[in-house]
Amino acid sequence: MCLSRVAVGWSADSSGCRRRPCGRTMATTPPTSWTKRQLFGARERGRGSWQGLSGPLLPDECQTVAQEFIPGRSASVSFSALKGQMLEAFSYSALQHQPAPFGPASVIEVIDHPGLLKVAERMVELAEYSGFGGIDAILPEDGSEPVFLEFNARPTQTTHLGKVVGADLCQALVCALSSQPYEDRRDRREQMRIALFPNELIRDHKSRYLIQAHHDVPWNERRVADAIISSTPELHLA
């Protein structure tokens, strides 16, 4: 498993799957990132400049790794897990980003991608992970296997959408913790499009996805919705 991001301050085992942090780390996505600009600038100025870039950031015993940018679609998996076993999950690709082109997703499309789910399952197993989490990956333009980007050991911005798409992450974890059977739904809503709030509204308040897709506004938690709107200047339309 490889990375398409530039990663500084990480070493990997021979499988390329498990990454071990050593010292401070930096992971950014080219080509607009600070690290990408510094890497190209260092390459042009010579090896001494590269050492000057990496030296202050990393301890002497730490390896520096810079990996190739892989063109393709960004995709993710949201899941729940217990003791290294993935309980429930769904995968999706990003149709829009805010900010473009490498910011968080603002519109997603649920997809059926066994390869992505296998990557997530393997990461959960390696980490012996319990709780909610997610992985990010790139689906290469040439149709090859997903390229792993990162493992998010926390609830992601799509964790709560499981019930909407037919993969209830929360219910699966509750059932596992209470030793109750979990009924896996078979009506997964592949190709369902979801506009994420407030990202898509910030990106384009006239976006067609706000009408044509499921708009994920937490109207059932009105105080939460009001707090997000009042604290987000981009939503204060004239």
Q: Which of 77, 66, 10, 76 is nearest to 33 (CA)?
A: 66
**Range list of β-strands (E), 29-130:** 72-82, 85-97, 105-111
Asked if the structure places residue 65 within a domain, the reply is no
Q: Are residues 40 and 83 in the same domain?
A: no
Asked if the structure places residue 67 within a domain, the reply is no
Decide: 25 and 57 in contact? Cβ < 8 Å: no
Asked if the structure places residue 66 within a domain, the reply is no
Decide: 173 and 132 in contact? Cβ < 8 Å: yes
Question: Is beta strand 105-111 parallel, antiparallel or unpaired with respect to 131-140?
Answer: unpaired
Q: Which of 84, 91, 75, 79 is nearest to 133 (CA)?
A: 79
State the CB neighbour count (10 A cutoff) for residue 111: 16
Mean pLDDT by 10 residues, the chain (238 residues): 39 37 36 37 46 57 75 96 97 96 94 96 97 96 93 96 93 96 79 96 96 94 93 82
How far apart CA 108 and CA 178 sit, in angstroms, is 32
Calculate the CA dihedral of residues 165, 73, 103, 107 and round it to 10 degrees.
-30
Asked if the structure places residue 64 within a domain, the reply is no
Q: Both tokens of residue 64?
A: 């520096």
Q: Are residues 43 and 83 in the same domain?
A: no
Q: Are residues 81 and 179 in the same domain?
A: yes
Q: Are residues 167 and 227 in the same domain?
A: yes
State the CB neighbour count (10 A cutoff) for residue 92: 25
Q: Are residues 175 and 130 in the same domain?
A: yes
Q: What's the pLDDT score for residue 113?
A: 95
Q: Are residues 172 and 209 in the same domain?
A: yes
Q: What's the pLDDT score for residue 190?
A: 80
φ, ψ of residue 78 in degrees (nearest 5):
-105, 140
Asked if the structure places residue 62 within a domain, the reply is no
- Give the CATH number for residue 100: 3.30.470.20
Assign residue 159 a region (left: φ > 0; alpha: ψ between -120 and 50; beta: otherwise): alpha
Number of domains in the chain: 2
Q: Which domain holds residue 31?
A: 6-57
Q: Are residues 83 and 193 in the same domain?
A: yes
Q: Are residues 218 and 103 in the same domain?
A: yes
Q: What's the pLDDT score for residue 22?
A: 37
Q: Are residues 96 and 199 in the same domain?
A: yes
